[in-house]
Structure 1
Amino acid sequence: MNIKITGSGSYIPTEVVTNLDFAKHIFLNDDGTDFPHTNEIIAQKFLEITGIEERRYVTDNLLTSDIATIAAKLAIEDANLDPETLDYIIFAHNFGNVKNGTIQTDILPSLATRVKHDLKIKNPKCVAYDILFGCPGWVEGVIQAQAFIKAGMAKKCLVIGAETLSRVVDRHDRDSMIYSDGAGATILEATDEEGGILAHETATFSFDEAYYLYFGNSFNDTHDPDVRYIKMQGRKIYEFALSNVPKAMAECLDKSGIDISQVKKILIHQANEKMDEAIIQRFYRLYKQSPPEGIMPMSIHKLGNSSVATVPTLYDLMIKGKIDNQELNKGDVVLFASVGSGMNINAIVYKM
């Protein structure tokens, strides 16, 4: 028995926000002092470091659970299955539903339950739950789904990654330019076909690293001190990722028994182009090699960092032929990898 992705779907929000759209923002240092550079210089340096030209935001009427349901429906249709036959709905997110213009998250009921309700699934044996695992949440959901299937507890699982980060950013923080919204979903099933999940690896680093990503006050001290926004220690995250993600990827690959020369694509969390490129370079350096051209497809340039949604969205876009000069074919070995708040790292070796 092998465990494979049999269907995928994604929702790409319709609101395009370019770097120029931040021209009127008043960016501040973390101590509230004025930032010394103009917004034009900030935008240029931001593009050079992150590779992000634009990002997508949801329209005011949509919630995280709404876009997740859209992606889920597409994945179910792609897999050609009856949603009543699903055993698990695993929904990875980090901030729940945050309505436009509000400051409170809503996770009651769980977002997975809302998706099940919106899909009109009656079967009570279809278990729906959320996981909070930072940006690696969808990858971890896939790892959990394959564990359920391997243990005989499930045959078909829906795994979703969705986020609306535009609702939890501080407009005075330059890091707000990184974040975006989106949703991706996949169906995992037991199958007699060759391939599927060959190995996985997960780790949580929390002794020194737990608060590299956190909720904090606005950099504008005139804002309500009881309202919190997503904050990060960018330099520490960068150094942490470069030190630890390549090792986790290598451990996962070695566990799978697959030679690095057989890896066709690496679908890594779309966090920051320069960081992702450096991770790939260090990963191949562990095998005394250089990464092949085109090994790392990117969506961050136009879609930004949608956290837990980046990897499943990238996978779906590639499967549907929507990433220029990139494709996935039957038999290809793919390495999924992600890093994020927690600080959590995970990886999967997967054969198409």
Structure 2
Amino acid sequence: MNMEARVGVVLEGGQRALNSASTHGSIVDAGARKFLQQHNNKQSPQHSQLGTVQQLLAGGVAGAFSKTCTAPLARLTILFQVQGMHSDVTALSKASIWQEASRVINEEGFRAFWKGNLVTIAHRLPYSSVSFYAYERYKSFLQPVLGVENHRVNGTADLAVHFIGGGMAGITAASATYPLDLVRTRIAAQRNTMYYRGIWHAFHTICREEGFLGLYKGLGATLLGVGPSIAISFSVYESLRSFWHSKRPNDSTIMVSLACGSLSGIASSTATFPLDLVRRRMQLEGAGGRACIYTSGLFGTFAHIIHTEGFRGMYRGILPEYYKVVPSVGIVFMTYETLKMLLSRIPAS
């Protein structure tokens, strides 16, 4: 499920920063987060001590760079997800990823793969900032409540702090920055007709035609997916890593983290992708002056899609989502590590 509400908690020695690399965002950050946690514990102190500003900058840039590199697959996912909204489902062509990519190039040009990516990049830093700040606040509240104080490690309680704090921070950040995510979806879903000519034009047009609340269409599906996404990412990653180390204890930590992080991302995507698809479609309700289709709320939208398109309709676009999991994990942690090494030379304020 490629949604920006998915929170990744980057653990650096005694410090923690939040970074969302959809999602989503994203589920793949679980692998990157765990790799960074293990890898940083092996590094020298000067490389692991970053100030808040440096952490936010490194996480934001790493996430933005990862999003930019995988933007073509992200746009293909959106284009597949919204098929059937305003078309006769029985007449839909069963285009492959390659056929759809070829159509985009022929009809819109190669640069069209990055439609909406500027909004995605603009979304990164505020999302990371809100996530980081909210996580620290929630952590400060939860530690005494759950008995994790004075930096003493209590396995179950410490995990609960990360899980609950991360989920609440994800909900907070997703709610605060959601209009940017909606605008990004509407721009990326456009084909040849450019109804929204840019970020500010999209904001102005949506507010004028649909009211201020139009910027929050689909928020319910986003918030509903945060908890399951984090839970699946954590549990699948930890289970796979423990099993792997029990069978092959001498394998490279980097390779284990990449493999387990990617598999946890795939598992989370599979489980929560229908929520992401519903979110996208609800975000496009009334876009471009079109009539609304899903008028019965979140669960009514689920029922409508299953009735008209079948259960398989809930997984339109899942393949390009799968394909971007592995590169997203690799790009995030490699970019983050490089920036961390460079920024560690700048004194923290």
Assess same fold via TM > 0.5.
Answer: no
TM-score relative to the length of structure 1:
0.27
Normalized per residue, the structure richer in helix is 2
Normalized per residue, the structure richer in strand is 1
TM-score relative to the length of structure 2:
0.27
Looking at both structures, which has the greater relative contact order when contacts are Cα pairs under 8 Å and sequence separation is at least 6? 2
